[in-house]
Amino acid sequence: MNRTYFRNIAIVVFTSFVLLAFVQAIWVERIYHDQVADFTRRVEAAAYKSIYKAFRMNALPGLSVATQVRIDLDEFALEFEPALLEQGTLQPYAVEIIDRTADSRVIMRRNEWAQIESAHYSEIEIDDAGQFALRLAVEVPYGRFWGQMRGLIFSSVAIVLLLGGVLIYLVRTMFRQRTLEAMRRDFTHNITHELKTPLSVAVAATDALRNFDADVDPTRRKAYLEMIDVQLRQLTAMVERILSVSVEGRKERFSPEQVLLKPLFAELVQGVEFGGGEQRRIEVCCPDTLQLTADRFHLYNLLSTLLDNALKYAGEEAEVTLSATAIDNGVELRVSDTGCGIAREHLPHLFDKFYRVPTGDLQPTRGYGLGLYYARRVAEMHGGTIVAQSRVGKGTTIIVTIPNHE
């Protein structure tokens, strides 16, 4: 999945979420306004009905006009309030009678207008000549409408949040898939070079022995054979490590025994090939009698992996410390270096399968993202933990804690 395609998918998902939230908000607002409009419509209908009953003495709505009008707001209230109560719209109200021929002068009033909050205003003609009109102010129960819609609002918010969570989960899954795809691509690229290098060296040494009379000189023959042996051992170790971590679900062979750590550390240091001569050194800190119940083969490979990483990333003047300390019911193993360090955002992924700290297309240090994953599996196989502490420019410390089972 290329970057442009992924970005377009993310934009579509985000736009869909915003559009969904907007539609839900518009839908809730429209229902609310419909409730308010229905309330005012019923109030005005009750007002029309009450005016005909209270004021227009001998008129029939739609059939005959009123020849006699008697304006009495108390009589209006006796008709209006039961009509509101019948429709479920009884709220505080105020009315006044105005004379339109005298600049809307108020000639009669019932209740105080100042006491009506959030009022809806209506003006209704009383007589057919249009001289008098009734002005009405009714308090609209906006709070009650919102309360009645509480369940609808909560359900709408829940739907938006649920769908938003699903969309976010999908986007995060796409991020993970894209990251995994990039990691696997890098793994293929790196492992190709890792396998090609020892093979190329071994082939070149064999060709020298066969075609350039190197076998005549015992010293040169021995050097070439040692070179072939080293490269084949490196290739074998690489293949074994890949196989040990790439077959998912395979039951690992686990043979715990009492392992004395000081001799194990000495064996590790002796087996390491330093690339920088005297400038690179390993310091060992371990009590002579400290021992641990563990699978010696896997423990050796775990520490060898950590030590190899520390030497590779510590720089030309490497200072690597390999230490072991007894803790409650176990042993804490530390491999520290004074190298370039690792940025904080990469530490949570350091022990993931195929993961390598991104350096763009340039990989100055060879690797294939399986060593630390293997180390994590070995630690977990022993019931322990492995964590990394690092600061950029200050170096890295890998801490392995393994319980000492009896």
Give the mean pLDDT of 242-261: 66
Taking the alpha carbons of 185, 233, 293, 335 in that order, is the dihedral positive or negative? negative
Which helix H or strand E contains 331, and what residues bound it?
Answer: strand 330-337
Residue with the bigger pLDDT between 318 and 37: it is 37
Q: What is the pLDDT of residue 381?
A: 87
- b (16+ CB within 10 A) / e for 99-112: eeeeeeeeeeeeee
Would you place residue 19 in the very low, low, confident or very high pLDDT band (cuts 50, 70, 90)? confident
Bridge partner list, 136: 95, 122
- Share of residues in the chain with pLDDT > 70 (%): 78
CB count within 10 Å of CB 212 equals 11
With contact defined as beta carbons under 8 Å apart, do 302 and 378 qualify?
A: yes
What is the tens place of the pLDDT at every residue in 262-307? 998 888 887 665 434 445 678 889 998 898 888 888 888 888 888 8
Q: Which two tokens stand for residue 41?
A: 């419509």
Give CA separation, 313 vs 13, 189, 308, 339, in Å.
Answer: 41, 20, 9, 6
Contacts for 400 with CB less than 8 Å, ≥ 6 apart: 302, 306, 332, 333, 334, 375, 379, 384, 385, 386
Rounded Cα gap, residues 59 and 78, in angstroms: 19
Q: If you write DSSP's letter for every residue of 169-237 in order, what string do you get?
A: HHHHHHHHHHHHHHHHHHHHHHHHHHHHHHHHHHHHHHHHHHHS-TTTSHHHHHHHHHHHHHHHHHHHH
CATH 3.30.565.10 fits 256-403, yes or no: yes
50 within 8 A of 80, measured Cβ to Cβ = yes
Neighbours of 384 (CB within 10 A): 21
Instruction: Enumerate the domain spans of the chain.
Output: 3-148, 179-246, 256-403
What amino acid occupies position 223?
A
- What element of type H or E holds 294? strand 291-295
Q: Tokens in use for 138? A: 């009714």
Q: Torsion angle of alpha carbons 222, 226, 227, 231, nearest 10°?
A: 160
Please write the tens of the pLDDT for every residue from 47-74.
888 888 877 655 555 545 555 677 888 8
Q: What is the pLDDT of residues 354-396, one digit of tens each?
A: 677 765 444 445 555 677 888 888 888 888 999 998 888 888 8
* The predicted structure's pLDDT at residue 363: 47
**pLDDT averaged over every residue in the chain:** 78
Q: Please state, in angstroms and as integers, the Cα–Cα distance from residue 178 to each residue in 3, 40, 174, 192, following that order.
A: 9, 57, 6, 21
**How many C-beta neighbours within 10 Å does residue 263 have?**
12
Cα-based distances in Å from 104 to 72, 121, 240, 373: 18, 15, 100, 88
Residue 389's SS3 state is: strand
pTM, rounded to two decimals: 0.46
Whether residue 163 contacts residue 123, with contact meaning beta carbons closer than 8 Å, is answered with no
- CA–CA distance, 290 with 322 (Å, rounded to integer): 14
pLDDT for 192 beyond 70: no
Contacts 24+ apart (CB under 8 A), 257-261: 257/293, 257/294, 257/295, 257/296, 258/291, 258/292, 258/293, 259/291, 259/292, 259/293, 259/294, 259/296, 259/299, 260/289, 260/290, 260/291, 261/286, 261/290, 261/291, 261/292, 261/324, 261/331
pLDDT for the residue numbered 156: 80
